[in-house]
Amino acid sequence: MTLPQIALFALAVGMLIGVGMSLLVAWAYRARARVVEETSNVVPDGVADVLASMDDTACVVDASGLVLAASKSAARFGISVGSPLENPELRQLIRSVRASGASATESLRITRGGLSLDPRLVSARASAISPRMSLLIVRDVTEQERLDQMRRDFVANTSHELKTPVGAVTLLAEAIESAADDPAQVRIFAARISAEASRLGQLTGRIMSLSRLQAEDALSDVRPVAIDEVIAASIEGHVVQADSAGVELARGGDRGVWVHGDPQILIEAFGNLIANAIVYSPKGSRVGVGVRADGDVVEIAVSDQGIGIAESDRERIFERFYRADEARSRRTGGTGLGLSIVKHATQRHGGEVRLWSRPGRGSTFTIRLPRIDPPVRDDDKKSKKKRERKAARAAASARARNGDRA
């Protein structure tokens, strides 16, 4: 066979292979379309409609593991009509249900859409709806698990934190009893008891504040609030602490800015930021509180020139009972709840809190809240009504004069 003949033969073989592959792909697409088309004839009446109205991931699977019908949210776990059910744990659950004939529920940790880095905890329930078909419902309970873990951690941490001052008070009371004949020692122990009692009161108060902020109930005293008044009250409440630490408090920025919220909660949130800034600032430095109105948002920034926050701590700094500097917090009586209160108070007011920090250069916490127009005062309302009445009388007089001329 000559070289040209070989080339022609190879070309013919290539064309045949190409045509064959095209026919094979077309057949596969037609087969899948036929499965989807026939779904309405296979799945019992009403099942597809029920699945379409479900928020949870749900699907109907045949004996071969092929998905015949599915809810809209099933795509989050890579489940689609006409495709096989890929997850081996879900397939095993369905096989066990087909073998036993009874419904079964299991808690599984599976991935969404093939993303191995996003495992989700789900409650999967499978039931047989016919000899050939099974119904699978997958409920994502990852968030519920996270909240349950948070509650458990909160109870455990609270119990641990309360034990420290309670135990100290007990020991100091015993020490006072032993030193009853030594007035100087009694005064020392009594002062320490007072300090521990104050710390205990502060801790329980903050626990109650945080619990209220995390409750689903609406804020109790919501009204237009002047940021000027909130900042003034927050600074005034920490003047003594700042003087004792040798730290200057300074206020700057825009004035006359208003938000909608609970003034006491906002004062506590800003007070926590100011108190933290004072604690972590060196003597002779300054803590600044700045306000900036930016369109529909107001930014309130609390800045210090202190030790700063390490990058490894920034992600956890708003967690309950988390302390970046455990020794300093213990020494200054910190509860580890202040920044958590700040975060939840800001979120309850429809805002967010941002953090900028560099070790050795200080930190800036910025609270962003929705801004509102200043409310109209009663005096302004009276003046407005007076102007309206005056304008109405002037208009009536003008009409009367025009009538006389006519």
DSSP 8-state code for residue 344: H
Residue matched to tokens 């995390």: 214
Which residues does residue 292 pair with via DSSP β-bridges, in sequence order?
Answer: 299
DSSP string, 35-83: HHHHHHHHSPTTHHHHHHT-SSEEEEE-TTSBEEEE-GGGGGGT--TTS
- pTM value > 0.85: no
Domain spanning 143-217, CATH class: mainly alpha
Q: How far apart are CA 162 and CA 336, in angstroms?
A: 12
Is 61 exposed, middle or buried, given 0-12, 13-18 or 19+ CB atoms closer than 10 A?
Answer: buried
Give me the pLDDT at residue 160, please: 63
Q: How far apart are CA 51 and CA 73, in angstroms?
A: 10
Could you please state the CATH topology (level 3) that the domain comprising 223-400 is classified under.
Answer: Heat Shock Protein 90 (3.30.565)
Q: Extract the tokens encoding 391.
A: 């304008």
| Residue type at 397 in one-letter notation | S
Task: Count Cα neighbours of 102 within 13 Å in the Cβ-side half-sphere.
Answer: 3
Pair 77, 90: CB distance under 8 Å? no
Over residues 4-54, the pLDDT tens digits come to 555 555 555 556 565 556 655 555 556 555 554 444 447 777 788 888 888
Could you please state the CATH topology (level 3) that the domain comprising 47-140 is classified under.
Answer: Beta-Lactamase (3.30.450)
Over residues 140-169, the pLDDT tens digits come to 888 888 777 767 766 766 676 677 677 777
Give me the pLDDT at residue 38, please: 46
Dihedral of the alpha carbons of 108, 113, 118, 123, in degrees to the nearest 10: -20
Through-space distance between the first and last CA atoms of the chain, rounded to whole angstroms: 120
- Say yes or no: do domains 143-217 and 223-400 share a fold: no
Give me the pLDDT at residue 28, please: 55
Please list the alpha-helical segments (H only) found in 179-219: 183-214
**Comparing C-alpha atoms, which of 349, 38, 344, 367 is closest to residue 231?**
367
Which residues does residue 287 pair with via DSSP β-bridges, in sequence order?
Answer: 249
The backbone region for 167, taken as left when phi is positive above 0, alpha when psi lies in -120 to 50, beta otherwise, is alpha
Give me the pLDDT at residue 4, please: 52
Q: How far apart are CA 319 and CA 359, in angstroms?
A: 20
From residue 303, give the alpha-carbon distance in Å to each of 251, 270, 290, 354, 356: 11, 12, 8, 12, 9
Residue matched to tokens 């020139």: 305
From residue 337, give the alpha-carbon distance in Å to each of 199, 203, 278, 331, 345: 13, 8, 16, 16, 12
Q: How far apart are CA 301 and CA 269, in angstroms?
A: 12
Pair 294, 404: CB distance under 8 Å? no
Residue matched to tokens 């071969």: 64
H-helix or E-strand containing 28?
Answer: helix 3-42
Q: Extract the tokens encoding 190.
A: 């009594």
Q: Where exactly are the structural domains of the chain?
A: 47-140, 143-217, 223-400
Give me the pLDDT at residue 41, please: 44
Residue matched to tokens 């809240």: 369
* Exposure string over 325-349, b if 16+ CB within 10 A, otherwise e: beeebeeeebbbbbbbbbbbbbebb
Ranges in the chain, pLDDT < 70 = 1-41, 112-118, 150, 153-154, 156-158, 160-161, 164, 202, 206, 210-212, 214-220, 322-335, 377-387, 390-391, 394-406
**Comparing C-alpha atoms, which of 58, 30, 55, 28 is closest to residue 43?**
58
H-helix or E-strand containing 249?
Answer: strand 248-253
H-helix or E-strand containing 236?
Answer: helix 227-236
Which residues does residue 343 pair with via DSSP β-bridges, in sequence order?
Answer: none
Give me the pLDDT at residue 376, please: 74
Which residues does residue 363 pair with via DSSP β-bridges, in sequence order?
Answer: 357
Over residues 236-254, the pLDDT tens digits come to 989 989 999 999 999 999 9
Pair 203, 165: CB distance under 8 Å? yes
